[in-house]
Chains A and B, each alone.
Chain A
């Protein structure tokens, strides 16, 4: 199998929770830049970044919306850092059935951070965070990528071991005929 070195850009927002002042400007501009038409409205409840915020307990965690998940985790996590107890799932980025975060308020459809890929100069939440709690970083990494239809072969092998090669060939022939 051929192994090739490729470069890939990793986009990171470094989040310094100690610097967050809890103002939610990130939520405002995120919902505004993703509005249609762009900037025509804003609504923090549509934002793809949320500040998990409890001032009396000094908890300020900006979280960026990650993947949608259909099911809750089997268990939940709870962190205690420097004596501060964070609520369950405080650091989780998933749009998930167990909580309100990262869903469109009307439709309930999941929201996901796209790192403002269409914006010049990187994510808008970072640009609007004058407290510098959010800092954007891009770095190139070299990754080894193998050529060839790797995934397809793995899938086929699994099917062959389950149904036998003949049955698979027959099925493919039948499907080819139909289409």
Chain B
């Protein structure tokens, strides 16, 4: 019997319309856990590097995390993995909401889509009944609209639906997959879904999901709930309100507009408006938000209220979370009313709320500087808001200039030429980033930005405070109940971290400490992504309820896999390394691992090289950021090194030298 997971995947061949229920190997669960881990294994096994994002051979995997559907609070994430049209690398965008638990209750851990459907279809999963259904009547419909129509036509108000809008259908490189209050937005996975001819995946499940050690498991869940209550009653002093509690940054609950509008960049991530905020704006925007927000809402089995239902007068209701609240507003130099209005349309079209406004601002900057001309924008309105609406329509329809802009700033700049690439300045590995421009290099963030393969800083950072606390007594207070640290040394790192002087950035935390901190932060995110746990209760906030000390217990009691901290750390390292090797196989190298050039004003090239060198070493990667034969061997990934050697990505001399090294080790 399998626990926490169902032990079955659905394999859908869209080309032939073939559907199979496939039993999975429990040994893979032990090695790669689930969710991201097993998604990565499937991609490695079945998608060779020659496969293009829009090839029928590309897979689109919807993986429910290992503990999704169990009573573990906040464990509800669907990890969607495929080859991104934007980066050409593996992308693993995720969504919370209600979809993954429903899939488990229907009796499956993953849905693996391959091939391409000749006509637009939707996939219906209702327990043992699984079928592809015609979706021609849904063509061009909005993502939320589609979900509502399907629920009606099936008379299944409790079905959970992940759908794409027009952007996905037209393969916009930053198209999202929308699921009511949640979306998997980054990396253009919606475009791959559209390319495969799948409008939606509808799930309804009414089966039991088992846990291995019932009393123990519920005991752990109760501890987490108790901790959440205490932690919510005791926000962390000295950090900004959206980060003081648990959950995703509380953008819907807290009025943080002043902070973001004055500290983040406007337009094409260029302009900082330090004196933007005043009483009049405060009144206006507060009123806009209060009137628009009907209710704060949650994902499946989670007490945090990170999302909200938004109803703007005259527009259909939609749901929002996080920072999309301000991305359109700031991209267009407009106000909150505009931002919430255009976001409604963009959500129906199914677009990534980070990339889309940046692409629009980028286009308008090119026009301003004469690289694009009025001819490229026939009949475009003169006002900024009107222009954003105009561009939105062009992009999702791939009309005129919209066809080029639909590929994102990096690829659009390549097509436009004439120096347009300088304007695509806020990318990492070809993906648009948060509009942040700061003064002095932060070594921790440098490494996270450079080496992250999650492509969104909020999905990489966490656990360790973003900045030092000014007073030592304040720091001492902070570390007192810091039970989440994997090692006591992290407390010392933080205690000695000063705003100014010898122990301040960029030289403190030292290279070694920085590597430790980044590795811890990354590890926790990767564990979350395999278990399906939302980062908002785990890897993202300070002092979260889930951590390296209680996770092994959750896995043992939930999935029935004997687990301890070491084994869990090793498993996370295994699929993290496999993911890296997968992307190396697709061409990713050290030269791709850098933050936007203008992210910090003050840079330290020598230090940065050293950081990368040491971090790579710590991770068991060579100086190109490719896992070494030795480190692959330690993780039981010899099949990976064999492949990398055959392809010449790793060379035999490296293999030989690492063999010598391991022989040396054994001697000692």
Chain A residues at the B interface, C-beta cutoff of 8 Å: 21-25, 28-29, 32, 35, 37-46, 54-58, 60, 105, 128, 130-131
Contacts and interface: CB of A to CB of B under 8 A. Distances in A.
Given A41-B208, A130-B228, 17 more contacts: A21-B303, A22-B298, A23-B298, A29-B71, A40-B214, A42-B69, A43-B206, A43-B207, A45-B205, A45-B207, A54-B157, A56-B309, A56-B317, A56-B319, A60-B295, A130-B229, A131-B305
A170 B217 CA distance: 63
Contacts of B297: 21-22, 55
B148 A130 contact: no
B302 A55 contact: no
Given A42-B70, A43-B206, A58-B309, A24 B215 contact: no
5 contacts: A37-B214, A54-B157, A58-B309, A130-B228, A131-B305
Nearest to B151: A54
Interface of B: 69-71, 73, 98, 105, 144, 148, 157, 180-181, 205-211, 214-215, 217-218, 225, 228-229, 294-303, 305, 309, 316-319
A24 B295 contact: no
Nearest to A39: B214
B295 A41 contact: no
A44 B317 CA distance: 27
Contacts of B299: 23
Contacts of B157: 54
B347 to A, nearest CB: 12
Contacts of A60: 295
Nearest to A31: B208
Given A55-B297, A56-B148, A42 B228 contact: no
A104 to B, nearest CB: 9
Contacts of A46: 208
B144 A56 contact: yes
Contacts of B98: 24
A28 to B, nearest CB: 5
B309 A32 contact: no
A25 B209 contact: no
Given A32-B71, A131-B303, A21 B298 contact: yes
Contacts of B295: 21, 58, 60
A55 B309 contact: yes
A41 B215 CA distance: 11
A40 to B, nearest CB: 4
B309 A130 contact: no
B207 A105 contact: yes
B211 A25 contact: no
B301 A130 contact: no
Nearest to B305: A21
A138 B521 CA distance: 46
B210 A41 contact: yes
A29 B98 CA distance: 16
A84 to B, nearest CB: 10
A29 B71 CA distance: 7
B218 A39 contact: yes
A44 B104 CA distance: 11
Q: Report, nearest first, the 8 A-B pairs whose CB atoms are least far apart.
A: A130-B303, A39-B214, A45-B206, A105-B206, A23-B298, A41-B208, A21-B298, A43-B208
A54 B214 CA distance: 32
Nearest to B210: A41
Nearest to A128: B225
A56 B318 CA distance: 7
A24 B300 contact: yes
Contacts of A55: 180-181, 297, 309, 319
Nearest to B296: A21
A137 to B, nearest CB: 20
A32 B180 CA distance: 26
Contacts of A130: 225, 228-229, 303
A81 B260 CA distance: 37
Contacts of A35: 208, 214
B301 A28 contact: yes
A55 B181 CA distance: 9
A58 B293 CA distance: 11
B221 to A, nearest CB: 8
A43 B302 contact: no
A43 B309 contact: no
A23 B214 CA distance: 22
A125 to B, nearest CB: 12
Contacts of B71: 28-29, 32, 39, 42
Contacts of A58: 294-295, 309, 317
Contacts of A28: 71, 301
B307 to A, nearest CB: 9
B303 A23 contact: yes
Contacts of A105: 206-207
Contacts of A131: 298, 303, 305
Contact of A44 (B105, B296, B303): B105
Contacts of A40: 210-211, 214
Contacts of B205: 45
A136 to B, nearest CB: 16
A41 B296 contact: no
B167 to A, nearest CB: 20
Contacts of B105: 43-45
A23 B534 CA distance: 14
A130 to B, nearest CB: 4
Contacts of B294: 58
A41 B229 contact: no
Contacts of B214: 35, 37-40
Contacts of B73: 25
B215 A25 contact: no
B288 to A, nearest CB: 18
Contacts of B215: 38-39
Contacts of A29: 71
Nearest to B74: A23
A170 B70 CA distance: 63
B300 A23 contact: yes
A137 B563 CA distance: 41
Nearest to B180: A55
A152 to B, nearest CB: 44
B628 to A, nearest CB: 44
A53 to B, nearest CB: 8
A73 B418 CA distance: 73
Contacts of A24: 98, 300-301
A25 B206 contact: no
A46 to B, nearest CB: 7
B538 to A, nearest CB: 17
A39 B211 contact: yes
A32 B214 CA distance: 9
A95 to B, nearest CB: 15
Contacts of A25: 73, 301-303
A41 B3 CA distance: 9
Nearest to B295: A58
Nearest to B311: A58
Nearest to B148: A56
B668 to A, nearest CB: 49
A128 B228 CA distance: 11
A45 B181 CA distance: 21
Nearest to A58: B294
Contacts of A128: 225
Given A54-B157, A56-B317, A130-B303, A41 B209 contact: yes
A165 B229 CA distance: 68
